Amino acid sequence: MRILAAMSGGVDSAVAAARAVDEGHDVVGVHLALSRAGGTLRTGSRGCCTIEDAMDARRAADLLGIPFYVWDFSERFRDDVIDDFIAEYQAGRTPNPCMRCNEKIKFAALLERALELGFDAVCTGHYATLVDGPEGRELHRASDEAKDQSYVLGVLNEQQLAHTYFPLGSTPSKAIVRAEAAERGLTVAQKPDSHDICFIPDGDTRGWLAEKVGTATGEIVDRSGAVVGSHEGAHGYTVGQRRGLHLGVPAPDGKPRFVLEIRPVTNTVIVGPKEALAIGEISGARHTWAGRAPESSEYACHVQIRAHADPVPAMARMDEASGFLVVTPETPLDGVAPGQTAVLYDGTRVLGQFTIDRTVSAVPVDA
């Protein structure tokens, strides 16, 4: 096959490209320039897509003996990921930029261009497994559960899965990948994994958002409506947050308060006890299927609401009247925010995903 290997400059994508070469594929490496600041420098494990990353990717491609290119996707990344991130926070939602990047950039813009140029598939260093089932290609969890990235790939659809290649999915551990990189002489063998939001390398999401959308003083209230503090922008908070609230009025029982809801229209943050974070139902209109859709309108599954959260047994159903996919977990979910992504599983197989629009508390307001 002709394979376009997306090379981030990290160890996983370098080894993935190397394995594709070993298997006899015609491989071309490409690094995506996603930042308009071309001289951006990397700091430890924070950030990605920096000038150092591009150079690391080029060195790996040279060692593998494959052609290498840098493609400027920065405008598309700004429009589809960064601007979406800002808009979602302004709307009081908690977005997942990694999901949007996979959906809009790596497996949409990049894959579209790859197919136009005659490539058969895009290869990445994600830890997930593809299985050719009786009804088409299926996306499954990786062998290494600790590194499994099927959650952030839940946005891939049937057509995208048909042109995707994950060489690391069956690898038992990341340590094996690093050892293999060292044996191959790849200089990225011990390079730290990137984490946090790549376009906020210092990790200060609240400060970054304040620079983009400004500040506006508002009230922090409890569930009865009593004012217990103030803030300088509701966009700087997320459901489940405990730290950094600086409340002036302690709770009657002396227990910590957590962010329960964000109301951007009134610039208000609602806080309450940890128990009130328990969610008994989630639903959303924007849903996709990773391969064939479930045959029944109601079915058992597991739901996962964060990349490293434990999957929870649940029942899912399609509400035909509203067009919402509704999921009721067997045990309440903790601290779910609108804007998060819920990924549904059948065993190890990813069924699909939806963006959470509505949540229903498992705890009455007066509890």
Quote the Cα angle for 209-215-221, to 5°.
100
Active site residue 101: yes
Distance CA 259, CA 242 (A): 7
d(CA 123, CA 25): 11
**Is 198 designated active site?**
yes
Rg of the chain over CA atoms, in angstroms?
A: 22
DSSP sequence for 3-46? EEEE--SSHHHHHHHHHHHHTT-EEEEEEEE--S-TT---BTTB
Instruction: Report the alpha-carbon distance of residue 249 to residue 272 in Å, rounded.
Output: 12
Query: Is the Cβ–Cβ distance between 41 and 52 less than 8 Å?
Result: yes
How many angstroms separate the Cα of 195 from the Cα of each of 129, 137, 207?
A: 22, 29, 18
| Marked catalytic residue, from 98, 101, 123, 301 | 101
Which candidate, 166, 139, 86, 53, places its Cα nearest to that of 347? 139
Active-site hit among 48, 98, 123, 198: 198
Q: Tokens in use for 301?
A: 């599954």
Q: Which amino acid, 137?
A: R
Distance, in Å, from the CA atom of 14 to the CA atom of 181, rounded to the nearest integer, reads 8
Point out the residues that are catalytic: 101, 198
